[in-house]
């Protein structure tokens, strides 16, 4: 990622936070709560909280509705409209042609403090090697145009920087054993991939547990998901669910809570982290 893109992203994020802070201040001055603001936009309470925290962009039309509701003075309105226009600058992920359905999640992930990921058939994206990620995107050509594959792979590698930042993303993953037996790209690619997972698990902020075949049926047999949490205790978590044709963000409080419950359920059936790594070494050594 070039310095120019880093600088642009930082400026955009700073303006989003400034805009969100102003909107929160104006809302409170009128005596409105987040539920009132959510009704104005016809959205979830979670979305309002994320806008005010600067983690989610507010569209021009949405800003106009909020400013009208909050009876913002003309000079404040002009300033915030200009700030919103500046905040529309692209995030780093847009340079890699990240699909529209996935871009909001990547933006949330860049601000998150914790991630809880359950995977059925694939290694988590934040732990994938470049060659493994390439094979995954190549197989998913219905959602990734062939000319965009390399850009998507680079975007996935860029996302992994969160694990090494200060403070780093606290990453907790439960991965079904099948994901490590599936020969994505062949034995050589899988040996490299499993080695990379084991190495990443040496980081204090990365914990991976394998859900073994012997665990039997579990709470999420039909889908994978990830839940993101944030450092401020009053900031609501959000989720993301994947599908063969794309994915969608989950921001309703009850639905996100259900995902966290499911994650805890599958984690309770998974092997402890040390035993998980022992299993991965065995699988790796048995690859032909």
At residue 8, does pLDDT exceed 60? no
Say whether 172 sits in a helix, a strand or coil.
strand
Q: Which residues contact 184 (CB under 8 A, 6 or more apart)?
A: 122, 132, 135, 136, 139, 190, 193
In a domain, 95, yes or no: no
Say if residue 73 is in the same domain as residue 186. no
- Percentage of the chain with pLDDT > 70? 87
Say if residue 112 is in the same domain as residue 255. yes
In a domain, 76, yes or no: yes
Measured CA to CA, the distance from residue 154 to residue 147 in angstroms comes to: 13
Instruction: Say if residues 245 and 143 touch (Cβ distance below 8 Å).
Output: yes
In a domain, 231, yes or no: yes
Q: CATH no. for residue 45?
A: 1.10.260.40
Which pairing describes strands 170-176 and 238-243: parallel, antiparallel, or unpaired? unpaired
Say if residue 167 is in the same domain as residue 280. yes
At residue 186, does pLDDT exceed 70? yes
Of the candidates 48, 64, 90, which is a domain's last residue?
A: 90
Say if residue 256 is in the same domain as residue 152. yes
**Residue 287, φ and ψ in degrees, nearest 5:** -70, 130
Q: Say whether the peptide bond before residue 17 is cis (omega within 30 degrees of 0).
A: no
Measured CA to CA, the distance from residue 237 to residue 247 in angstroms comes to: 17
Which of these ranges, 63-72, 95-104, 224-233, 268-277, has the smallest mean pLDDT?
Answer: 95-104
Q: Single out the residue of 219, 240, 210 nearest to residue 123, CA to CA.
A: 210
In a domain, 169, yes or no: yes
Say if residue 224 is in the same domain as residue 120. yes
* Predicted structure pTM score: 0.73
In a domain, 7, yes or no: yes
**Residue 116, φ and ψ in degrees, nearest 5:** -120, 110
Say if residue 131 is in the same domain as residue 195. yes
Say if residue 108 is in the same domain as residue 245. yes
- In whole angstroms, how far apart are CA 245 and each of 96, 147, 179, 182, 248? 19, 18, 20, 21, 10
* pLDDT number for residue 281: 97
Q: Which has more confidence, 77 or 194?
A: 194
Report residue 288 CA to chain centroid gap: 34
Instruction: Say if residues 128 and 136 touch (Cβ distance below 8 Å).
Output: yes
Q: Single out the residue of 54, 80, 52, 84 nearest to residue 67, CA to CA.
A: 80
- 101-149 per-position pLDDT tens digit: 777 788 788 888 999 999 999 999 999 999 999 999 888 655 566 778 8
Q: Please count the structural domains in the chain.
A: 2
Q: Which residues contact 190 (CB under 8 A, 6 or more apart)?
A: 132, 180, 182, 183, 184, 284, 287
Q: CATH no. for residue 141?
A: 3.30.870
In a domain, 73, yes or no: yes
* pLDDT number for residue 227: 96
The domain in which residue 66 lies consists of: 3-90
Q: What is the largest CA-CA distance in the chain?
A: 70
Say if residue 75 is in the same domain as residue 110. no
Of the candidates 37, 61, 90, which is a domain's last residue?
A: 90
Say if residue 61 is in the same domain as residue 151. no
Contacts of the segment 277-280: beta carbons below 8 A, 24+ positions apart: 277/198, 277/201, 277/208, 279/177, 279/180, 279/210, 279/212, 280/180, 280/194, 280/197, 280/198, 280/210
- In whole angstroms, how far apart are CA 146 and each of 9, 140, 141? 27, 9, 6
> What is the DSSP-derived secondary structure letter of residue 71?
T
**Average pLDDT across the chain, whole number:** 86
Say if residue 128 is in the same domain as residue 54. no
**Number of other CB atoms surrounding residue 3 within 10 Å:** 7
Of the candidates 31, 66, 90, which is a domain's last residue?
A: 90
Q: Which has more confidence, 267 or 94?
A: 267
> What is the DSSP-derived secondary structure letter of residue 101?
T
Which of these ranges, 61-70, 201-210, 230-239, 277-286, has the smallest mean pLDDT?
Answer: 230-239
Query: Cα dihedral angle (58, 62, 64, 69), rounded to 10 degrees?
Result: -110
């Amino acid at each position: 990622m070039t310095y120019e893109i880093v600088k642009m992203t930082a400026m955009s994020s700073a303006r989003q936070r400034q805009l969100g802070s102003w909107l929160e201040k104006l809302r409170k001055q009128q005596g409105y709560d987040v539920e009132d603001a959510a009704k104005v936009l016809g959205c979830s309470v979670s979305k309002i909280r994320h806008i005010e925290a600067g983690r989610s962009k507010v569209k021009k039309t949405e800003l106009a509705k909020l400013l009208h509701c909050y009876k913002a003075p003309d000079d404040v309105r002009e300033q915030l409209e200009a700030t919103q226009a500046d905040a529309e600058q692209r995030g780093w992920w847009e340079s890699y042609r990240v699909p529209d359905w996935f871009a909001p999640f990547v933006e949330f992930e860049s601000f998150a403090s914790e991630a809880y990921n359950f995977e059925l058939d694939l290694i988590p994206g934040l732990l994938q090697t470049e060659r493994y990620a390439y094979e995954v995107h190549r197989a998913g050509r219905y959602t990734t145009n062939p000319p965009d594959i390399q850009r998507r792979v680079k975007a996935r590698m860029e996302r992994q920087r969160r694990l090494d930042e200060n403070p780093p993303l606290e990453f907790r993953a439960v991965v079904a054993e099948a994901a490590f037996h599936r020969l994505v790209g062949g034995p050589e690619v899988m040996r490299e991939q499993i080695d990379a997972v084991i190495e990443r698990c040496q980081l204090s902020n990365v914990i991976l547990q394998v859900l073994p075949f012997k665990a039997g049926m579990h709470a999420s047999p039909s889908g994978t998901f990830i839940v993101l949490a944030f450092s401020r205790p009053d900031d609501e978590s959000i989720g993301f669910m994947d599908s063969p044709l794309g994915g969608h963000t989950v921001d309703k409080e009850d639905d996100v809570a259900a995902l966290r419950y499911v994650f805890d359920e599958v984690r309770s059936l998974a092997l402890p982290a040390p035993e998980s790594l022992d299993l991965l070494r065995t699988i790796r050594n048995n690859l032909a």
